[in-house]
């Protein structure tokens, strides 16, 4: 067998034997631009917008850990998440006893609008803020822990079940 002369046509980059990418470079650039645009739109849709929560501050992250350790046995953030205690998502700015849970008369009639300051006082001494309340929680003495927990609660939003 005699050796074959080298082909002047470069080897194809694609598995298609007759495809030379250089012949279609304009189409490839346009396709890359389209794919890049689609990928950017998909990333923007999955990483932002009204459905994605904002990243938590370090204090709110610590507060979330405190919530999980001290509150989540009875409370949830999402509405309908727990039946033994009210959901706390979006509590800042909400009137006490107003979220549809079966609150004690003391809580319903307290007249409290939950602010950061009122939450801090309540977490420090619940029975002093709402006497005769039925929640089995005796308070959180550490002001830094209360501050972090309030920061987390303030970062949450009410949700639908």
Largest CA-CA distance found in the chain, in angstroms, rounded: 103
Q: What pLDDT digit, counting tens, does each position of 84-126 carry?
A: 899 999 999 999 998 888 899 999 999 999 999 999 999 999 9
Which of 131, 124, 130 has the alpha carbon at shortest distance from 150?
124
Q: What pLDDT digit, counting tens, does each position of 65-90 carry?
A: 999 999 999 999 987 776 789 999 99
Handedness of CA 89, 90, 96, 98 (dihedral sign): negative
Question: What integer is the mean pLDDT of 52-60?
Answer: 82
Percent of the chain whose pLDDT exceeds 70: 65
User: Which DSSP letter does residue 130 get?
Assistant: S
Q: Is the pLDDT of residue 17 over 70?
A: no
pLDDT of residue 93: 95
Q: Is 113 helix (H, G, I), strand (E, B) or coil?
A: strand
pLDDT confidence bin for 29, thresholds 50/70/90: low
């Amino acid at each position: 067998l005699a050796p074959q002369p080298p082909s002047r046509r470069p080897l194809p980059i694609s598995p298609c034997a007759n495809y030379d990418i250089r012949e279609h470079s304009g189409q490839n650039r346009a396709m890359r631009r389209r794919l890049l645009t689609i990928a950017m739109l998909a990333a923007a849709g999955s990483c932002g917008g009204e459905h994605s929560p904002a990243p938590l501050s370090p204090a709110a992250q610590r507060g979330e850990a405190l919530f999980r350790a001290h509150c989540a046995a009875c409370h949830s953030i999402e509405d309908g998440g727990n039946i033994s205690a009210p959901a706390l998502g979006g509590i800042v700015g909400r009137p006490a006893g107003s979220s549809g849970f079966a609150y004690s008369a003391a809580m319903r009639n307290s007249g409290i609008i939950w602010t950061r300051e009122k939450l801090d006082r309540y977490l420090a001494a619940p029975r002093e803020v709402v006497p005769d309340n039925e929640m089995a929680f005796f308070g959180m003495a550490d002001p830094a822990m209360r501050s972090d927990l309030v920061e987390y609660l303030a970062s949450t939003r009410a949700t639908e079940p």
